[in-house]
Amino acid sequence: MSRAENMNRAIRALSTTTPDVEAAAVVDNDGLMMASSLPQDIDEESVAAMSAALLGISERISMELGRGDFQLNLVRGAKGLTLMTRCGPDAVLVVLTTPKAKLGLLFLDVKRTASELANVLG
């Protein structure tokens, strides 16, 4: 199985097995989409670009405020959560959820998926 197929399998598994996860994507540090299970009404290029911008800001905040290396970013909106976490040094996992997502379960499953993706990305 190719690297792209393995990434797509991992994010599809997250989207289908974790309650309240609506979509997921893997984006590289430069804002290019590597894999996604996003709905058709969401523009992949926009998600990738916004993820890279948020990653840059998150990393700077973490370092400037002495919090160490960036690990996770959570944005809560009225219609759900957007979670972004590292899945290796060159990419991030972006996850969209419903507003009722259980954070403990979500963090556990996202961490597991990010680890799996980090292994795929080598």
Instruction: Return the CATH number at 108.
Output: 3.30.450.30
**If DSSP codes are grouped into helix, strand and coil, which group holds residue 22?**
strand
Average pLDDT score over residue span 77-105: 96
Structural domain count of the chain: 1
Question: How far apart, in whole angstroms, are the C-alpha atoms of residue 52 and residue 33?
Answer: 10
pLDDT at 8 over 90: yes
Q: Residues 24, 117, 35, 5: what is their CA dihedral angle, to the nearest 10 degrees?
A: -120
pTM, rounded to two decimals: 0.94
The average confidence (pLDDT) of the chain is: 95
Question: How far apart, in whole angstroms, are the C-alpha atoms of residue 25 and residue 33?
Answer: 7
pLDDT (tens digit per residue) in 14-62: 999 998 999 999 999 999 999 999 999 999 999 999 999 999 999 999 9
Q: Which pLDDT does position 61 carry in this prediction? A: 96
Domain that holds residue 99: 3-121
Average pLDDT score over residue span 98-109: 95
**Alpha-helical segments (H) within the chain:** 3-17, 44-64, 103-121
